Structures are given as C-alpha cells and as structure tokens.
Amino acid sequence: MIESILSYGIALGAVYALIGITYNVMYSSSRVFSFTAGTMGMLGGVLGSVFISTMGMPVIVGFLLTVVAGAVLGLLIELIAARPVLKSLDQHLYVLSTLAVSLAMLQLTAIYFSTDAVPFPRVVPFDTEFFDQKFWLPILACAVTVIGLEYLSRRTLIGRAFLATAEDNYAARALGLPEQGLRMLSFALAGVIGVVAGFAAGQMMFASLANGPLLNFYGFVPVALGGMGSNRGALIGGLLLGLFQQMANYFFGGIFASVAVFVVFIVVLLARPEGLAGAATPRRV
Amino acid sequence: MSIESLPASKSHSWLEKWLPIIVLAVVGGSLPLWGDEFFGTVGTRICVYWMLCAGLNLVVGYAGQIAIGWVSLLTVGAYTASALVAGRITPEIHPYLALIVAAIFGAVSGLIVGLPALRLRTFYFAMTTLGFSTIVTQIALAWRSATGGGVGIPGPLLPEPFDTPWGLYFFCLAIAIICTWITCNIASSRYGRSLIAVRDAEVAAEAVGIYKPGLLVNVFLLSGALAGIAGGLFASLQSYITPEAFSFDLSVLFFIAILIGGRGSILGPLIGTAVLTVLPDFAAPLVQWSTFVYAVLLLAIVLLVPGGIADLLDFKNRRPLDQHREIRPRPELLPEIMGTEPSKSLMTLKGIVLAFGGVRAVDGVDIEIRGGEVHGLIGPNGSGKTTTLNAISGYYAPQEGEVIVDGTNITRLGAHQRANFRIARTFQTPRIVGEESVLENVMIGGTNDGQGTFVEAMLALPRHRRDEARLHRDAMTALALVGLERLADVRADRLQHSELRFVEIARAVMLRPRFLLLDEPAAGLSVDEIRRLGALISAIKAQGTGVLLVEHHADLIFEICDRVTVLNLGKVLASGEPEEVRTHREVVNAYLGA
C-alpha cells in the first residue's frame, strides 16, 4: 500500500517538477509566464500515442519525432505568443497571448485527436518485478533533465549565456549576447522538456486532453511556491506536491486533495507573493 | 468668463453613458417582432451571459484583473438556485427567493475567488481563478445529495407568466437591462474612474487616496452577485444542469467577449458577448471550432487591436487636435476650488533615513514645510530628492525618523491615507490614465472627498449624484485654472508632455491640498510655460498651501521659493532663505557651479 502511494506520488511529483521547469526555462529567458507549459506536457502524451500506437512507428522513432515536434512548437510559441508582447512586458499581455495559443492547441487536440483519455503504449520492452516502468520513466526523465540543465549551466558557454540573460537581460545584451537567439533556444528547450514530461508520464496519466489544464495548474503550483525561476524549488515543490496529493487522495479522497492543494497554494502566496524562496521586488516610483 | 460657458458637451456624454442600455432595450425589446422562438432562446442566452459579463467587465475591463475562471460563479449560482427550488438541502423555496440566495452565494464566491487579486498579480491571479473553477466543478460532481452529481438536476422553473420561452426571455432581458444600468452607474462614477486609475496608474491612484483593496472587494461582491443571478437563470434556460454544462470554454467565452469589446467600455463588451454567443448558433460548422476561433480572436485582439470594438467605435478621438495649442493658466480661479479661508499647516520631517540595501539614499534629513510657503528641494541627481518625496507620500517607509503634520505622526500610515491629510503630489514622469479623458483624469483627484457609498453609486442615489456634479464642476474649474479646459473631452494620451504636467497639477489641486509636492514640474516645459507655472505655484501658495518643489531649474527655484533645502548624497547640505543658499560655498561647489 505505502509503496504504491510512494511510487505513484513521486512519479506524479516528477511530472509536476518537469512542467515547473518548463515554466522556468521560458520565464528565465523572457520574463514570460506561459500557459503553454502544461499544454506541452499534454501534447507529449498525445503525440507519443499518435506516433507509436496509431501510426505504428517504433518507440524510439516516435519519441524522437515527439521531441522534434516539441522543439518546433516551442519556437512557434516564442514567435507568436512571446516576442510580439515583450516590448510592453509591464502590461502583462503575455498572459493573454499564451492563453490564446494554449487554448488553440487544446482545441486542435480535441478536434484531431480525442476528448477522451487514450492508453499509452509500453515504452520499454522489458518489465521490472517491483517498480513498474510507468513510475520510473517520469522519475528518470526528471533526473536526466535536472542533471542535464545543471551540467548545461555550469559547464557550457551557452548555459552561462542563459544564466546571464536570466540574471540581467539588459546587461547581457550590452555584453553582446544574442538575446533573441538565446530566447528562441530556451523556448525550444522548454518545448522539449514539456513533451518529454508528457511522453514519460504517458502510461501513468494516459494520452488525454484533460492533462493540459491539470498540468498547467499543478506544474505552476511548485514554481509559484518555490519562487519563479528556481529549478530547485520546482523539483522539491513538485515532488512534495505529488506525494501530498497521493496521500490525501488515499486517506481523504480526491476532492479533499484538490481543495487542500488549492488552499495551501493561495494561503502561501498571500503570505509571500514572491514564493517561499523568492526575493521581494522593491517598489516602483 | 464663467465656467458654465465652457464647451462641456453634457448631452453628448449623456448619450454615451446610456447607449448600452438603449441598444439592449431597443434590440432586445423588438426581438419578438422579427425573430422566431429559436431567436428567443438565443436572445435569452445572450441576456444571461451578459448579466455575468456586465459584472465581469468591471473586474476585467475596468480593474484590469485577469479573471479567466469566472464560470465557477455561474456554477455556484446555477446549483444554488436549482438545489433550493428542488428542495434538496432545505424545504422547497420559491424561485425568486432562490435567485436572491443565488446572488448572495455568488457574491460570497466572487469575494473568495477575487481576494487573491489584492496580493497577487496577473498570471498568479489568473491561475487561482482557474484553480477555483476546477474545484467548484469537482465539488458539484461529488456532492450528490445537493447537485445530483454527474446525473445532474433540473433547473428552477419560474412561475407564471415567465414559464414560457418568451416569458423567460423577457424576464432575463429585464434583469439584463438592470445589470447594465447598475454597471453603467458604477463605470461612470468615481468608483469606476478609481478602478481604471488603479489599473493604469496605481501609484497616482494611491496618492489621491484610492484604497485598492476596499474598492476591489466591492467590485468582486457585485460581480459575483450578478454572476450568481446569471447562474440561476442559466439553469432555468437549460432546464437541466450537469457539471459538464459549465465547461472551461464558457469561461473563455466570457473573458474574451470583454477583451474583444474593449477595456473600459460597456457597449463594446455587450456587442462582444452577443457576437460570441450567436457565432456557434448561426454557423453550424463552427460549433466544433468555436473555442479555436475564440483563441485566434483573442490573439488577434492582443496583437493587433488592443482597444477592441470600443476603440473602433471611438470616432470622437479621431478628430485631429489643434496643432498650435497654448497653455494659459488662470490662477485667479483658484479660490473657486480651494475655498477662501487660507488655513496654514505645518509639516515637519525629522531625521528621515531611508536605505536600500547598503545605500543610504536619504540619510537623516530634516525639513520644515510651512503653509503658505514654497520650499525648494534641490541637489544633484541621486541626492535623495524624489526619495524624500516618496517618504512623505508613503511609498517608502523610512527606517528612522518621522513625518509630522500638525502634530500627527503620519510616518507609518499607508500611501492612500496621506490624502486625508490633504497631501497631494505630481510625479517626475506624469502618471496619467491615458485611455481616459482629460476631465476624468482630473476628477480622479477629488475621489477622496466623495460622500456616496458604492451602493449609492450603483443605484445613482441623490448623494452620489451630488458628488458627481461637484466633481464635474470642480474638475472643469481646475482645468480652466491650468488653461486646458478646451481639451477636457480628449483622451489624455493624445496630449503633449507639457500639457500632462499641467493635468497633474489640476488633479492635485482637486484635493484642495494643504501640502503640494511637485516633482520636477518644469521639466520639458518651454521658457514661457515655466514662467506661467511659476505664477500658478505662487497663487497656490497664496491659498495657504505649503508647496515642496523639487526642481533643477535654478531660476524658477530662486524666483518663487521662500526657503530652499539643498541635498547632497542624502544629507542636507544647506538650508535657508534663497539668497543664503545661493551664495553658500559648498552648494556652489557641489551643485550650482560658479
């Protein structure tokens, strides 16, 4: 019993963390919060299911195509929803533009795929005795992503350039960093992380339209609570959220779990709008 | 020349205010003459949606809050009314009473879903409204005894004569017209102007005494109540409701209808609601694609026409303005606004210290501002002049020191409370609501003196009407005072920079200030304009007001100031009569030059 709660909770938490990181990667390079983060997660499951189950491709090919689609969609989002509104960031138009793109993606999925949940194919051909692949795949994906990002930002020039733009956009531009190129790259990367999350979680959450809004919210909770832009916050917050949800689900029922998460989310944000680990922004006259 | 003879187009603005109601009443009332029963059902749907959108419009279009989960309030209203009429929780209740209870529950829910907006911004708030709507749906599914769960329950049937489709239509139309009337009243009141001010110029709104949380609480209650009634009637219209009827698509429809209509307009969102409701009904192949179309429309609005339908209908502001405008203030009008008894107050700053991290921007500053005097505050860039002003306005809380007005310590009071002490100010970069007319911008300055409550404004009761008449008259006088009365009806963002500076002064004068803080009012003005500004400031001083003037134009400072304080690196370098300061050796070295 307890191990099923643990494995399910941690696996779910890993997916939330990945979506949180998707939010972060876009936010760091552009200061744009994007409603597309969870939608990309949903698409990861849907595309994987279409490529592998419907079109009968080998798993590895389906995975690679999903990743490519994620990168392309990420670039499109940058082009359509982020770049045109960056000039007036203080008007927060990105909330509307990313919402519009996210809605359009959801509706296209509803029309061309299905509004119902569709089972996701087995990804790894062998079965493990005690810990099913539907649980360890998301955890693996999360670990690889976190370690990969960490390596990128510590060891590579491009990673440092990312950090520089995230820290101070103007200064980075003054240094001659290709701000626009880095932003496009980070949106592509965010797209990839999003679809990988959905692909890895496919067997656990199915390929389902409903995952879009769900992941949008539960992926945002850890980053909002942990502080926007902090991947560590997203990871810890995501795992805690997944575990908490499964436990509350088991002991008190699903409604209680949702209400409890919502209440905690609001109460913490009201007490500390900048998140538990974030720094307060100074005032503006 | 008296103020009454000025070109204020009273009849024009009257039509502008009531046009949404006229349109709704004429088109809606004549519907049975040109439409069949199918049109009637669509019309009922438009009326029901509009009840909700009328309230949401105040939240989204006026207050600028990104509330995208508003369908949750429709759900609350629908289930409340249905469950009460069916007697699933209590004994069976009369439908009218049930609608009233639905409004109350809606108002409370509106407050709950809206409260986070007092602390959270944009995306965060949008997320909380989404989260709330998910939870409401889940509760509706789980609480079977009251809501019927996934099976659903019948909606309330209204008593005769409203139990037929046309009967229900006219009932909904009547309520929709009342909702429009209420929101028109709010929108054209000082509360409506305050909402827009909070949205577009929050800092200036605080300075004139607008308290954002109090304002938003009222608006969320009203918006929730209207959504609750809409929910009850939605259930009647559907005749049977399940949680699936309240899909996220509906939320999107409401939200986008308002944005397509245009922010700060009522007619625009009304048209937007009607169009979006009708769209899938009259273009059958579109049904499946409707949400996609909404999404594309939203993107197009955001990227191409941020003003929405309202902007396209705004013919008045396309007329070109006179190119050679001159600002000619008439200081002799000042007593008409400020009153005639000059009462002199005293403001004392004692040892104000304000540090940002390790930088002590203001480091132990003492200043005394006396009523009836102009006190100049000068010094090099970064010497702490604006920071001192901000400490007086309450935007920063000083770490040490006190601000005392006539014996009352106001150091720890909130920024919006400073207006009670009649401390007004202008800003280095004018903080103006660009989408509002010049007149409305000036009227905002008098918000703090309004007597009527939010409810009185909603119902246009006499006390509120007196407030409005007085604000209108004073604002016209204030505009004539600064010489801009001919631009009263023009959108403020069409004005030149120098004109905006004078609009800010007119707005500040509306508070009948005992203290006026001017932050570089002469920046960007021509030599003539600076001279007229000087005369205006002197006239304000003659009313007994204490003026604190931050300025770089040394000529203006030494011409009109009675006392000058020089700051350098956050400390007072010199203070005293203009002549002493002008010849002070350190001042000459640090700032003035030889």
> How large is the average pLDDT for residues B127-134?
89
Q: Which of A101, A111, A220 sits opposite B127 (nearest CB)?
A: A220
pLDDT band at B336 (very low <50, low <70, confident <90, very high): confident
- B295/A81 touch (CB, cutoff 8 Å), yes or no: no
Banded model confidence at residue B291, pLDDT cuts 50, 70, 90: confident
For residue B142, the chain A residues in CB contact (below 8 A) are 253, 255
Answer whether B48's CB lies under 8 Å from B172's CB.
yes
Residues 6+ apart with CB under 8 A from A284: B203
pLDDT in the model for residue A262? 87
Phi, psi dihedrals of residue B375, rounded to the nearest 5°: -110, 115
Q: How far is CA B86 from CA B94, B240, B271, in A?
A: 10, 12, 35
Average pLDDT, whole number, for chain B?
Answer: 90
Domains in chain B with CATH codes = 23-248 (no CATH), 334-422+512-592 (3.40.50.300)
Residue A277: pLDDT band (50, 70, 90) is low
**Interface contact A85-B356, CB threshold 8 A:** no
Where residue A278 falls among pLDDT bands split at 50, 70, 90? low
Please, are residues B234 and B77 in contact by the beta-carbon 8 Å criterion? yes
Q: Which residue has the tokens 């604002």?
A: B475
Please report the pLDDT score of residue A74 as a whole number. 97
- Tell me whether residues A99 and B298 touch, CB distance under 8 A: yes
**Domain spans in chain A, listed from the N-terminal domain onward:** 2-271
Short-list A65, A35, A6, CA closest to A246? A6
- Reduced to 3 states (helix: H, G, I; strand: E, B; else coil), residue A173 is helix
Identify the helix (H) or strand (E) that includes residue B39. Answer: helix B37-57
Is residue A196 predicted with pLDDT exceeding 50?
Answer: yes
Candidates B121, B131, B259; nearest CB to A262? B131
Closest CA to B76 of B99, B53, B44: B99
Alpha-carbon gap, residue A258 to A255, rounded angstroms: 5
Q: Is 80 exceeded by the pLDDT of residue A161?
A: yes
Largest CA distance in chain A: 62
Query: What mean pLDDT do residues B307-332 have?
Result: 83
Please tell me the distance in Å from A282's CA to the nearest CA on chain B.
Answer: 9
Task: Note the helical H segments in B543-577.
Answer: 554-560
User: Mean pLDDT: which of A64-73, B333-342, B354-363 is highest?
Assistant: A64-73
Residue of B nearest to A267 (CA): B116
CA distance A86 to A93: 9
Task: Note the pLDDT of residue B386.
Answer: 92
- Give the pLDDT confidence score for residue A29 in this predicted structure: 87
Instruction: Report the alpha-carbon distance of residue A254 to residue B129 in Å, rounded.
Output: 19
Residue B73 has pLDDT above 70, yes or no: yes
Question: And the tokens for B322?
Answer: 């006179």
Tokens of B392: 């007086």
Which residue's structure tokens are 């489709």?
B165
| Residues B52 and B74 sit within 8 Å (Cβ to Cβ) | yes
pLDDT band at B6 (very low <50, low <70, confident <90, very high): very low
Inter-chain contacts counted by CB atoms under 8 A, chains A and B: 110
Report pLDDT for A266. Answer: 85
Instruction: Compute the CA torsion angle B275, B277, B278, B283 (nearest 10 deg).
Output: 110
What is the pLDDT, as a whole number, of residue B294? 86
What lies within 8 Å, CB to CB, of A40 at 6+ separation is: A22, A70, A73, A74, A190, A191, A193, A194, A195, A197, A198
Question: Chain B contacts of A96, Cβ < 8 Å?
Answer: 66, 259, 298-299, 301-302
> A2-271: what fold?
ABC transporter involved in vitamin B12 uptake, BtuC (1.10.3470)
Say whether pLDDT at B342 is over 70: no
DSSP per-residue letters across B358-403: TEEEEEEEEEEEETT-EEEEE-STTSSHHHHHHHHHTSS--SEEEE
Largest CA distance in chain B: 90
Q: Which residues of B touch A81 (CB under 8 A)?
A: 299
Torsion angle of alpha carbons A83, A41, A73, A88, nearest 10°? Answer: -10
Whether the per-residue pLDDT at B390 is higher than 50: the answer is yes
Residues of B numbered 156-195 whose beta carbons fall under 8 angstroms of chain A's beta carbons: which are they? none
B121 contacts in A (CB within 8 Å)? 92, 273
Residue B171 pLDDT exceeds 90: yes
* Helix extents (H) in chain A: 2-30, 36-49, 59-77, 93-112, 133-155, 157-167, 169-174, 179-200, 202-205, 211-226, 231-252, 254-271
Test A269 with B124 for CB contact under 8 angstroms.
yes
Cβ atoms of B444 and B205 closer than 8 Å: yes
Other Cβ atoms closer than 10 A to B466? 13
DSSP for residue B323:
S
- Complex-level ipTM: 0.88
- Residue B307: helix, strand or coil by DSSP? coil
What would the mean pLDDT of B410-439 be, rounded to a whole number? 93
Query: pLDDT value at position A27?
Result: 92
Closest Cα partner for B52 from B22, B30, B75, B20? B75
- Which B-chain residues 114-153 have CB contacts (< 8 A) with chain A? 115-116, 119-124, 126-128, 130-132, 134-135, 138-139, 142
Residues of chain A contacting B140 with CB distance shorter than 8 Å = none
pLDDT of amino acid B206: 93
Whole-angstrom distance, CA of residue B210 vs CA of residue A164: 40
Contact B486, B7 (CB under 8 A): yes
Q: What is the pLDDT of residue A279?
A: 57
Q: Which of A16, A86, A103, A284 to mutate to test the interface with B (most CBs of B within 10 A)?
A: A103
pLDDT single digits (tens) B214-249: 999 999 999 999 999 999 999 999 999 999 899 888
**How does residue A188 score in pLDDT terms, banded at 50, 70 and 90?**
very high
- Beta carbons of B294 and A216 less than 8 Å apart: no
Q: Which residue has the tokens 């409203």?
A: B162
Contacts of A285 in chain B (CB under 8 A): 203, 386, 390, 393, 395, 427
pLDDT of residue B8: 44
Q: In chain A, which residues have their Cβ closer than 8 Å to the Cβ of B120?
A: 269-270, 273
Determine, for residues A217 and B130 on separate chains, whether the beta-carbon distance falls below 8 Å. yes
